[in-house]
Every structure is written in C-alpha cells, then in structure tokens.
Amino acid sequence: MAVRFQEEPRWHAALAVVAILLLYVTLPPRIIVGPLWLLPLLVLGILVPLLILSPHRHREAEWQRAASIAHIAILSVFNVATIVLFLYQELSVHHRKVFTGEELLLAAVQIWLTNILVYALWFWEIDGGGPSARCALNFVQNPQLGDFMFSQSLLSPELRAKSNWRPRFLDYLFLAFTNATAFSPTDTFPLTALGKTLMMAEALTSLVTIAIVAGRAVNLLGG
C-alpha cells in the first residue's frame, strides 16, 4: 500500500512555545519565577537553534530529540512553579487579597491556557516515540502503536492512506484543550501508562486552577 510521505514541521509547536512565553511574561510580577528574562532565555536558547538546524522532525539526531524534550520540560517546571507560587500567595493568610478580582481572574486564564499549550507539546512530543518516529511508514500503517488512539485511527488502512492522515500538532492541541475542559478524553483515548499519566496531570492542574483560583476570583468580583 503506497503512503505519501510528509515531514513533520517544527514551527507549529514553536508557535505554541512563543504563545506560552507571551502568556508568562504578562503575568503579574508577584508570580513570575525568577527574573522575567530567565524562562525566555532558557527556552529560546534551545528552540532557535533547533528551528535553524532541524526545522523538520524527520530522522533527527539524538541530541535534537533530547533538546526538544528539554525545552518542554523547562516550560513544565516553570508552569508548575508558577501555579504553586500563585496558590501560595492567594491562599496564605499573610498574602491574602494581594490580587484584585480582575487580576486574579486574568492570571487564572493565563495559567489555564499555558497549561493547555504545555501539555499539547508533551502529547506531540511523546506520542509513538515522537514526531520523527511518527513519520515512519510503520506508524502510518499502524497508528495503534502510539500512546493515543485518535478517532481517525479507526478508519480503514485504505482511507488513511488516501487522506494521508496521521496526528499533527493541532490534533494534540485539541486533545489538551478537551482534557483541560472536560477532565476526560473525548474522541482520543490514552493507550499507555505515560499517556494516561500526562492526561491526569493536566486535568489535575486545570482543576486546581479553575476550582480554586478562578472560584476565588468570582467571589472577589461578587464582593
């Protein structure tokens, strides 16, 4: 069965990284972790060389794969640290009412959106061994080998070959969005322990943000 080959570009995910950085630098200064320039410097210092040297995720070297994982891990660490710092300042007796209702609600939305984008990057990076592995003919013909089962994977091999379908970054962004809003998979299901763990972690951080932070913001606005 002939399958048309198409490389996986890096720039789709790079746009998500830029959006995360923009959301981060516009957070209230009280919940910025370290100097404002630290996260952009660390992430862009890895991402820019990757965009130049490896614009497509196909047959990439081990160091390129490791660097791709590293910059997502850095984003995750700062995202978690921001949430912890935010909750500490908001729930601590000594820091209570440090935010107005409007500031709190805006920051909660920014953190929630950042959480979606970070986990979309993780899903895109780990599914089936990574974007480079998903370019292989074996994965295209056997999508059940991945960490997630998309609804399109249930199509017959002939239809998949005709449409040249395989999961792209937008599919993982949709998965992260639905998991953060419904706290469960919709049309895409985790198949491996790693996939399930990542989805649970995203749902938990999303629930904390919505239930605690956004809920308190509504109370402040109502008062």
Q: From first to last of the 223 residues of the chain, give the pLDDT tens digit.
A: 444 446 788 999 999 999 999 999 999 888 898 899 999 999 999 999 999 998 888 878 889 999 999 999 999 999 999 988 888 877 765 655 667 777 778 888 899 999 999 999 999 999 988 888 787 766 766 767 788 988 777 766 666 666 667 788 999 999 999 999 887 777 788 889 999 999 999 999 888 887 777 666 666 665 5
Examine residue 96 and state whether it is found in any structural domain, yes or no: yes
Residue 144 lies in a domain: yes
Tokens found for residue 130? 């990574």
Give domain status of residue 2, yes or no: no
Q: Is residue 1 part of a domain?
A: no
Q: Is 80 a domain residue?
A: yes
- Is 208 a domain residue? yes
How many domains are contained in the chain? 1
The answer to whether position 3 is within a domain reads: no
Whether 170 maps to a domain, the answer reads: yes
Q: What is the DSSP string of 147-198?
A: SEE-GGGGS-HHHHHHHT----HHHHHHHHHHHHHHSS-SS-EE-SHHHHHH
Structure tokens, 57 = 């995720």
What is the residue range of 153's domain? 11-222
